[in-house]
Amino acid sequence: MNIQTVPSSPFDDQKPGTSGLRKKVSVFQAPHYLENFVQSIFDIIGAVPGSTLVLGGDGRYYNREAIQVILKMAAANGFGKVLVGRDGILSTPAASCVIRKYGTFGGIILSASHNPGGSDGDFGIKYNTANGGPAPEKITEAVFARSRALESYRIVEAPDVALDRIGATALGDMAVEVIDPVADYAELMESLFDFDAIRAMIRGGFRLRFDAMHAVTGPYGGEILEKRLGAPAGTVINGEPLPDFGKGHPDPNLTYAHELVEIMNGADAPDFGAASDGDGDRNMILGRRFFVTPSDSLAVIAANATLAPGYAAGLAGVARSMPTSAAADRVAAKLGIPCYETPTGWKFFGNLMDAEKVTLCGEESFGTGSSHVREKDGLWAVLFWLNILAKKSLSVEEIVYRHWAEYGRNVYSRHDYEGLPSDAAAGVMAHVESQFPALPGQRFGGYQVKFCDDFSYTDPIDGSVSTGQGLRIGFEDGSRIVFRLSGTGTEGATLRLYLEAFEPDPAKHHADAQQALAGLIGIAHDLSQLKPRTGREQPTVIT
């Protein structure tokens, strides 16, 4: 095996964000950039020689090239075997599933999730540990520190490995095993949900659409929804994965999944609509002319979990990220199970799931999942909803209204201000925080401030502390305003404003969320001076 040690100089910007290292494709294409980061990962994780690694990505531009580089570096760094998805493809939840199923040392996932792809789009890379989940901060920080000192990397000199056929080949002393990207994941889904009941519902005339947004879930949706569950061909739309996602923005929300939204609002709308993102971990759930907020989706799944065979024994607990609404907390209270509030990002759920403290978890950002893997899981959420619909024989809308009637409605919205100059965004945050000492007890219209803080979290399992996770202003009636800066963007800063108001009265549950939240939105703008400070009159995206 011809191992080269290639001299290189450190980069100072390889700090992983909310979910791995994300940069423009052109940044990753710079000489040694990808290689340095991969070598930093290998140096830190300390895999024993002969270990197995999982490798795959969402198929975006530069996926193929990066896979070949990483395979050659894995061989040079002493791995014994790499399980790689055919054509370098694995959705993020499927990668997590494969790591766990085959007990590998860890895995590398290539994705920038919902960020646009193509030669001028984004690329990303992250490391997942043996539990199948994103590496915790102590690893990502050590990788960053290593990347700032790295002076060379190791790579074998060899021709590219053919990845289009299932089976094993040798790369130096390492085996490269090309696996079906869908099979293990589909088998896991079949073990969790009542496929017979869903099949019968579809046979009985239930209609659905799944928008894969030209991203990784096309083949997964095709195999599971159309082939195994018998939905007619055409149920999966935009099902062909493309390196630039068909020039779309593969984020399943009301703005970017507009094709699906139009179908679901149309005259002959199907009963159920869903979409997933670039790497398959996000989901959006729609009924006929009805949007289910991700926070409500988590709560509805929690309340009905035992209808799915994989969850028939009940839930150990639930967890939600801090900005996610407290709808799930209400379900947990009724079920008599714990509900944990964690910082934004899936990596904070891993410890709770490993310690069997929680079964379900979710984020307001279209992420829902459970301990079946250690990533959020888009298609899993879709199947959970189909399972619930099949068992309850109600429409999506009826299920949600009945849920609110029982638990009350946590009216919720998120306003994103994308691409702001970093100093303007930081100025808004500083301005809000500067008022904290005087806010408690103050009244704004009908709202009285109960508390305000910069959210920090002490992990109940390992005691690690994460600070600076978002500015919270809580009101006496349980309503909330949260300001937070995104940790996943690659250009400028994105400021997120999260708004939540609790409405116990079923007579008011039909209200439009933006109208119901208008009072809180006004308070948020008064307090933050967001408009004058950023020059933005409107959010870029409202969900």
- The CA angle 160-162-163, to the nearest 5 degrees, is 120
Q: What are phi and psi of 416, to 5 degrees?
A: -105, 135
The interface partner of residue 487, options being Zn ion, ligand G1P, none and the CB cut-off 5 to 8 Å by kind, is: ligand G1P
The C-alpha atoms of residue 486 and residue 403 are separated, in whole angstroms, by: 31
Nearer to ligand G1P, 42 or 291 (CB): 291
Q: Annotate 318-342 with b (16+ C-beta within 10 A) or e (fewer).
A: bbbbbbbbbbbbbbbeebebbbbbb
21: which 2 tokens?
């290292």
Among 77, 147, 295, 486, binds ligand G1P (CB under 6 A): 486
Stretch near ligand G1P under the rule CB under 6 A, chosen from 118-126, 134-142, 362-370, 470-478: 362-370
The interface partner of residue 277, options being Zn ion, ligand G1P, none and the CB cut-off 5 to 8 Å by kind, is: Zn ion
Q: Nearest CA to 414 among 326, 491, 527, 325? A: 325
279 binds Zn ion (CB under 5 A): yes
Q: What are phi and psi of 177, to 5 degrees?
A: -110, 115
Q: Nearest CA to 541 among 384, 426, 419? A: 419
Stretch near ligand G1P under the rule CB under 6 A, chosen from 2-10, 99-107, 421-429, 484-492: 484-492
Task: Give min distance, CB of 494 to ligand G1P, in A.
Answer: 6
The interface partner of residue 235, options being Zn ion, ligand G1P, none and the CB cut-off 5 to 8 Å by kind, is: none
Stretch near Zn ion under the rule CB under 5 A, chosen from 39-47, 108-116, 425-433, 526-534: 108-116
93 binds ligand G1P (CB under 6 A): no
Nearer to Zn ion, 279 or 377 (CB): 279
294-323: which residues touch ligand G1P (CB under 6 A)?
321
Nearer to Zn ion, 113 or 293 (CB): 113
Active site residue 365: no
Stretch near ligand G1P under the rule CB under 6 A, chosen from 100-108, 201-209, 359-367, 528-536: 359-367
18 binds ligand G1P (CB under 6 A): yes
Among 309, 487, 492, 519, binds ligand G1P (CB under 6 A): 487
Contact 189, 370 (CB under 8 A): no
Spatial CB neighbours of 506, under 8 Å, sequence gap ≥ 6: 404, 405
The interface partner of residue 56, options being ligand G1P, Zn ion, none and the CB cut-off 5 to 8 Å by kind, is: none
488 binds ligand G1P (CB under 6 A): yes
DSSP 32: T
Point out the catalytic residue in the list 91, 113, 321, 528: 113
The interface partner of residue 345, options being ligand G1P, Zn ion, none and the CB cut-off 5 to 8 Å by kind, is: ligand G1P
Among 222, 345, 378, 408, binds ligand G1P (CB under 6 A): 345
Q: Nearest CA to 417 among 530, 529, 307? A: 530
Stretch near Zn ion under the rule CB under 5 A, chosen from 187-195, 274-282, 405-413, 459-467: 274-282
Q: Count CB-CB contacts under 10 A for residue 461.
A: 12
96 binds ligand G1P (CB under 6 A): no
346 binds ligand G1P (CB under 6 A): yes
Nearer to Zn ion, 279 or 363 (CB): 279
Q: Nearest CA to 147 among 230, 244, 249, 43? A: 43
344 binds Zn ion (CB under 5 A): no
Nearer to ligand G1P, 87 or 363 (CB): 363
The C-alpha atoms of residue 115 and residue 22 are separated, in whole angstroms, by: 9
Q: Which residue is nearest to ligand G1P (CB)?
A: 486
Q: What are phi and psi of 474, to 5 degrees?
A: -105, 140
Q: Annotate 99-124 with b (16+ C-beta within 10 A) or e (fewer).
A: bbbeebbbbbbbbbbbbbbbeebbbb
Spatial CB neighbours of 274, under 8 Å, sequence gap ≥ 6: 208, 209, 210, 211, 252, 260, 283, 284, 285, 286, 381, 382, 385
The interface partner of residue 279, options being Zn ion, ligand G1P, none and the CB cut-off 5 to 8 Å by kind, is: Zn ion
404 binds ligand G1P (CB under 6 A): no
The interface partner of residue 486, options being Zn ion, ligand G1P, none and the CB cut-off 5 to 8 Å by kind, is: ligand G1P
Contact 450, 520 (CB under 8 A): no
Among 36, 39, 104, 113, binds Zn ion (CB under 5 A): 113
The interface partner of residue 230, options being ligand G1P, Zn ion, none and the CB cut-off 5 to 8 Å by kind, is: none
DSSP-derived 3-state class of residue 376: coil
The C-alpha atoms of residue 420 and residue 405 are separated, in whole angstroms, by: 40
Q: Which residue's structure tokens are 């909803």?
A: 385
The interface partner of residue 19, options being Zn ion, ligand G1P, none and the CB cut-off 5 to 8 Å by kind, is: ligand G1P
Using CB under 5 A as the criterion, which residues of the chain lie in contact with Zn ion when the complex forms? 113, 277, 279, 281-282
Q: Which residues bind ligand G1P (CB under 6 A)?
A: 18-19, 113, 321, 344-346, 363, 365, 367, 486-488, 496
Q: Which residues are catalytic?
A: 113
